[in-house]
Amino acid sequence: MGRELTFRIMRYNPETPEVKPHLQDFKLQEEPGMTLFVVLNKIREEQDSSLRFDFVCRASICGSCGMLVNGRPTLACRTLTKDLPDVTTLLPLPVFKLLGDLSVDTGTWFREMSIRTESWVHDDSEFDPTAEEARMDNELALKIYEGDRCIECGCCIGGCATANIRPDFIGAAGINRVARFMVDPHDKRTDQEYFEVVGSEDGVFGCIGLMACDDNCPVGVPLRGQIAYVRRKMASAGWKMKVKS
Ligand code: SF4
Ligand code: SF4
Ligand code: FES
């Protein structure tokens, strides 16, 4: 017989603001191999059909199930109950717009961040359909791929001290995005142009460097290295711009 588990879940429906946010306890029996995906679906099917949360892939791919599990941002679909105490608190990720209970709108945040960091390859040269495909060595391709592995779950943002007090901070996910294009030789932006995008207090210089983001990233994007890389490049670009002026 498994343990009796208690899940203390934040409830809030923006459509009924007169009911203030509160915690509600749900109890169920633990089963072998149980994840929070199973727990939340069981609660919704058997105890309260109004409970809101997001899952799509159940396999750490889609990034939709980020939440605070006992205060730590992580993916619910890959969290096993065997690693949790008898009582677990589930809260929605902060920083993002709350849609209800555990469901937040990460999509709008990431779309705005993509526009702000101009997350596309910048190259003004004319397209030549007869040119040979540009080659790239494996090491460099892998470096670019490291940045592309972000699944946009928002865990690095929800647990970031700066993002929690500065809504305009681009966070580790934003800095990682900039790093991805900086290392890509197809992108012809200069360091000075990147400085306009990320060389500010709401960009890389707002980061206080305690690396909660690196600890919390569920897919292991090397955020520590990406932040250090962008910070170094932007500090040097800022210094050169100052000397020139
Ligand atoms: S290291 Fe920077 S980006 Fe990462 S959590 Fe801390 S302040 Fe946020
Ligand atoms: S960098 Fe990691 S924690 Fe941040 S949004 Fe991407 S996958 Fe999630
Ligand atoms: S449901 Fe897709 S990452 Fe958890």
Q: Mind listing the pLDDT tens digit for each residue in 35-46?
A: 999 999 999 999
Residue 189 backbone phi and psi in degrees, to 5: -65, 145
Residue 221 Cβ < 6 Å to ligand 2: yes
Give the model's confidence band at 21: pLDDT under 50 very low, under 70 low, under 90 confident, else very high. Answer: very high
Give the whole-angstrom CA distance, residue 29 versus residue 4: 5
Position in ligand 2 atom list of the atom nearest CA 220? 2
pLDDT (0 to 100) of residue 243? 85
Cβ within 8 Å of residue 87, ≥6 positions away: 5, 6, 8
Q: Which ligand is nearest to the CA of 171?
A: 1
For the chain, the maximum distance between any two Cα atoms, rounded to a whole number of angstroms, is 73
Please tell me the distance between residue 162's alpha carbon and the centre of ligand 1 in angstroms: 7
DSSP 18: T
CA of 172, closest atom in ligand 1 = 3
Residue 245 confidence (pLDDT) above 80:
no
108, 156, 158 from 40: Cα distances, Å: 24, 23, 20
Give the pLDDT band (50/70/90) at residue 134.
confident
**Residue 127 pLDDT grade (very low, low, confident, very high; cuts 50, 70, 90):** confident
Q: Which atom of ligand 3 is nearest to the CA of 153?
A: 3
In 3D space, the residue among 3, 71, 68, 2 whose CA is nearest the CA of residue 36 turns out to be: 68
In whole angstroms, what is the distance from residue 203 CA to residue 175 CA?
7
Mutate which of 38, 77, 102 for ligand 3 pocket (most atoms within 8 A of beta carbon): 77
Residues within a 6 A CB radius of ligand 3:
55-58, 60-65, 75, 77
Output the CA–CA distances (angstroms, integers) from residue 240 to 67, 230, 244, in the order listed: 42, 15, 6
Residue 53 has pLDDT above 80, yes or no: yes
pLDDT category of residue 180 using cuts at 50, 70 and 90? very high
Confirm or reject: Cβ of 207 under 6 Å from ligand 1. Answer: yes
CA distance from start to end of the chain: 73
Which pTM does this prediction carry?
Answer: 0.95
Which pLDDT score, from 0 to 100, does residue 47 have? 98
Q: Rg for the chain (alpha carbons), in Å?
A: 21
Q: Whose CA is nearest to atom 5 of ligand 1?
A: 160
Q: What does the pLDDT look like over 160-169, one tens digit per residue?
A: 999 999 999 9
> Which of 60, 51, 32 minimizes the C-alpha distance to 90?
51
Distance CA 73, CA 89 (A): 12
Ligand 1 mean position, distance from CA 88 (Å): 26
130: left (phi over 0), alpha (psi -120 to 50) or beta: alpha
